[in-house]
Amino acid sequence: MTATELKQRLLTPGPTAVPAEVLAELAKPIIHHRTKEFQAIFAELSALLQKVFKTEGPVLSIAGSGTTAFEAAQVCLVKPNSKVITCAGGKFGERWQDVYDVYSKFLNIEQIKINFDWGKAAPVDQIKKALDENPDVSVITICHSDTSTATASDVKAIAALAQKTDALLLVDGITSVGAFECEMDNWGIDALVTGSQKAMMLPPGLGYVGLGKRALKRLDEIEHDIPAYNLDLRKWVASHAKNDVPFTPPVALIRGQKVACELILKDGLDAKIAETKKLAKASREAFVAMGLELISDSPSESVTGVYYPEGVVDGKFRAGLRDNHGIHIAGGQSGRGAKWKGKIFRISHMGYVDFADTLACFAAMEVELAAQGFAIEQGVGVTAFEAAYNA
């Protein structure tokens, strides 16, 4: 049986699996976006996104990826001739540093880079110290959950620090929004970003920017030239107020996201978050029972990362899962802070993934680990996962 004949289970941390109801919506005939019909759909989606983001502010739907949306927030919300605190303990925190490296020559930005070990949470004390010593900081960037390291940071504590200053907190919530606790308004997050292909249960193609009161005020007070056109959030805010977008949107994705949000909220967002947490906790306990080492000291609830045992080859292991079992997982990534490509693997718990998918994944992983000579008692991971999930 080939991989295409097997039932496919997508447990990568993006793209994630898409529910049948959403796929059916995506298959419907395209409508024109400059119509009342589209505006009605867009208005409904915007209201649903506010519930997922837990905010009363606008949540902008931008054609592109999470990177597109976060770059837009970075370039529009930073003050020229100011400092920014950029926190990086993984590939994606480093990406936001790289974005400001590009724009620094246009806006005269000085970065205060807080780099920390991969697999560790962002050091709140260092962020506080940097804020205390630099009153001219205009932006802080932080990953709530860095997908590359399967690690979560204490965004609630960092937001509390930012709220005492003029610095806006820009949060990469790409693998936290809709997956685990993330309270935009209650915590005081100024800009919160995610992408459609994660917990939002949609194919790639949309990035979302939630804007708080302080961020909207910053946009309204801009007097300098923003070195962006499509990514100028002022255009998106103005159109959003009219239930519209400034440029041609991916119409099918807008419709699909509305259906996906309805599914996410059907039993309540808290119930969805609780289920994701159960899958994550049970997975971590199962990996430990299998004799494997977790990569994170502060694990994310949306994705779990594990070091390969000695002798297990990354490409061969993941190909075996794919070709023999129809299971798709992710490998590692490398950046300035660590070189994890080929050394770790990651599985997702967010979005349209459930107990059966994850149980099948553990059964398949046991088989493929044993096939490469790793001494493992068959069924130990499956048993531990099931026991922890049902505890």
Q: How far apart are CA 222 and CA 145, in angstroms?
A: 30
Per-residue pLDDT at 4 exceeds 80: no
Q: What is the pLDDT of residues 245-286, one digit of tens each?
A: 999 999 999 999 999 999 999 999 999 999 999 999 999 999
| Chain center to CA of 348 | 11
Which residues define the annotated binding site for substrate? 346
- Kindly state the tokens that stand for 12: 């990568």
Label each residue of 204-269 as H, E or C: CCEEEEEECHHHHHHHHCCCCCCCCCCCCHHHHHHHHCCCCCCCCCCHHHHHHHHHHHHHHHCCCH
Name the phi and psi angles at 257, rounded to 5: -65, -35
pLDDT band at 5 (very low <50, low <70, confident <90, very high): confident
At 296, the pLDDT band (50, 70, 90 cuts) reads very high
Judge if pTM exceeds 0.95: yes
The whole-number average pLDDT for the span 125-141 is 98
Residues in the chain: 391
Please state, in angstroms and as integers, the Cα–Cα distance from residue 127 to each residue in 114, 116, 167, 295, 330, following that order.
8, 11, 12, 23, 31
Rg of the chain over all Cα atoms, to the nearest angstrom:
21
Summarize pLDDT for 64-78 with one digit per residue, the tens: 999 999 999 999 999
Return the pLDDT at 190. Answer: 99
Residue 2 clears pLDDT 70, i.e. is over it: no
In tens, the pLDDT along 178-198 reads 999 999 999 999 999 999 999
d(CA 240, CA 219) in angstroms, rounded, equals: 14
The confidence score (pLDDT) of residue 61 equals 99
- In the structure encoding, which two tokens stand for residue 308, read together? 């390969």
Q: What is the mean pLDDT of residues 313-317?
A: 98
Model confidence pLDDT, tens digit, residues 30-49? 999 999 999 999 999 999 99
- Report residue 31 as tokens: 């409508």
For residues 156-181, average pLDDT: 98
User: Identity (one letter) of the amino acid at 120?
Assistant: K
Which domains can be identified in the chain, with CATH numbers?
A: 9-15+268-389 (3.90.1150.10), 20-265 (3.40.640.10)
Strand partners, 112: 85
pLDDT surpassing 90 at residue 213: yes
User: What are the binding residues?
Assistant: 346
